[in-house]
Chains A and B, each alone.
Chain A
Amino acid sequence: MTRYAMVIDTRSCIGCQSCTVACKIQNNLPVDMIYNPVTTVGPTGVFPNLHMAHIPLLCMHCENAPCMDACPTGASQRREDGIVWVEEEKCVGCKSCVMACPYGARVCNHEKGTVQKCDFCFDRVDKGNVPRCVQTCHQKARIFGDLDDETSEVFKLVNGEHAVRLLDELGTKPRVFYIYGLEGQI
């Protein structure tokens, strides 16, 4: 069975925000809505040993998604391939999912009165393409694929590199993994 996941190699990310812009265009987002911010940590250390990392953030498509438990209408759903998405027709904009999401991945669309989020561009994925942010990243810092496919790059990176998940201690089991430089330091 397919289990989609994304690996983000922060060693390659240069913080250009191309993915942020591509995502906004792909999803036709209003100017004040961002699914896909890229944060910057640092610079840290003392010259000449300085270090800075860029951390692309997005919906983690958690296996134990707190947003789905919190949604009173059933608008927040998971597909068989693990992609968590919001059925706009059912969403009433109660913000329960916004409050429940530990990753700040959900944003309110004040024009529609609903909550929206990254859905791994499943309309593109269903046609055999990768999400727009993955396609746009010229540094190849984002890798998308099937965790159950042992030949996929995602499978190899998650099982071979020191890939970590954000706020893993909360038990949400995110499907987005990060590879950090400098022995796991951010």
Chain B
Amino acid sequence: MNHKHETWGWMLAVDFFFAGMGGGMLVIAGLADLFLGIGMTSVLGNLLGALCIGLGACLLVLELGRPFQSWRVFMNPKAILTIGAWSMVLAMIAGIIFASFGIGSLPWSDAILARKLFAVVSVIFGLIVATYPGILLARHKSRPFWTGAGIMGLFVVSSLVTGAAAHIISQFVFDAVSSIVKSWQIVDASSSVVLKGLPYLVAGLLILQLILWIGYIWIKLTGTTEREALAAQRWMSGNYAMPFKGGFLFAGTFLPLVLVLLPGNLFKGIGALLVILGGVIMRLLVVYSGQDRTWLPGEQKYRSRLPIGDEAFLKAWK
């Protein structure tokens, strides 16, 4: 049933995906640098984390009705979207500076204390960027599928797992092009760590993500309001069931869980790509599920009868 009602579109979902993945990449890169040692993730991966957040921010701007006025979203510090916008900017700056320490030809690359400081800042703001879409959605009391703190955990875990997968893919690309950028004297000990250690992290996070999703849907179906149960039913047997079960659970979770643990870089690479695909599908489904609002008496019937925009009489009017 079509309803003439405005909701967020695919661009915001893809913004959440890129921002989350970028935030996850910064968190992993920063923690690896702080606790495992310098150069444990590829410079390309560290840089891509910040660039992904930037790409997400661009999509957020394009989603606006007045993109040229986008600077105004920084103006209300009480709004979650404003906090998210500031966090994205700060994470991007911290991430780029942190990544630059990996390029040995730059004069500040030896400043270890500064590098560690920016690693900490990257972790903090990366985590905020990875978390804020979940907080933003969780506060919508009238959107039955979103409301509640559970969705925040789903976004954090998805951000971390897609971030780890993106580091694996970045490592493959970096290894392929490292001879070309040899003159940059890149500080790098990452190949063995990323390709041996991160697949296990990805597998662990995928298992956690699976448990959280099963719990989330089950709680929505059984333990909350009738409206939330109805919204969750769409994920089990309604129009979201196929992309959720086939796309996200099977292709984006089960299959990569097996692939990343198999020996051979090809399997790990395909597994990492599938994790990222799963992250995109999840964001799209979650954002579109926000179309389910708590309806007022008679409102659903009323809106179903309104023109949806492509009717001949509406075009003729314009």
Contacts and interface: CB of A to CB of B under 8 A. Distances in A.
Interface of A: 31-32, 34, 37-41, 53, 55, 57, 66, 69-75, 90-96, 98-104, 106-110, 112-115, 166-167, 170-171, 186
Given A32-B4, A170-B141, A72 B65 contact: no
Contacts of B294: 102, 167
Interface in B1-22: 4-8
Contacts of B303: 37, 104
B299 A94 contact: no
A82 to B, nearest CB: 19
A103 B141 CA distance: 11
B262 interface: no
Given A73-B75, A94-B81, A100 B140 contact: yes
The SS class assigned to the A binding surface is loop
Given A72-B85, A92-B70, A31 B6 contact: no
Nearest to B143: A99
A99 B290 contact: yes
A99 B8 contact: yes
A107 B298 contact: no
Contacts of B69: 73, 92
A103 B296 contact: yes
A72 B75 contact: yes
Nearest to B293: A104
Nearest to A114: B65
Interface of B: 4-8, 63-67, 69-70, 72-76, 78-82, 85, 139-143, 290, 293-294, 296-299, 301-303, 306-307, 309, 314, 317
B72 A101 contact: no
Nearest to B294: A102
Given A39-B298, A93-B64, A94-B63, A66 B141 contact: yes
Contacts of B309: 32
Given A100-B139, A108-B65, 16 more contacts: A32-B309, A39-B297, A39-B299, A40-B301, A41-B298, A53-B298, A69-B78, A70-B81, A71-B79, A91-B65, A94-B64, A94-B65, A95-B8, A99-B290, A104-B296, A108-B6
A98 B81 contact: no
B72 A92 contact: yes
Nearest to B4: A32
Given A94-B63, A108-B65, A72 B72 contact: yes
Contact of B307 (A32, A94, A102, A170): A32
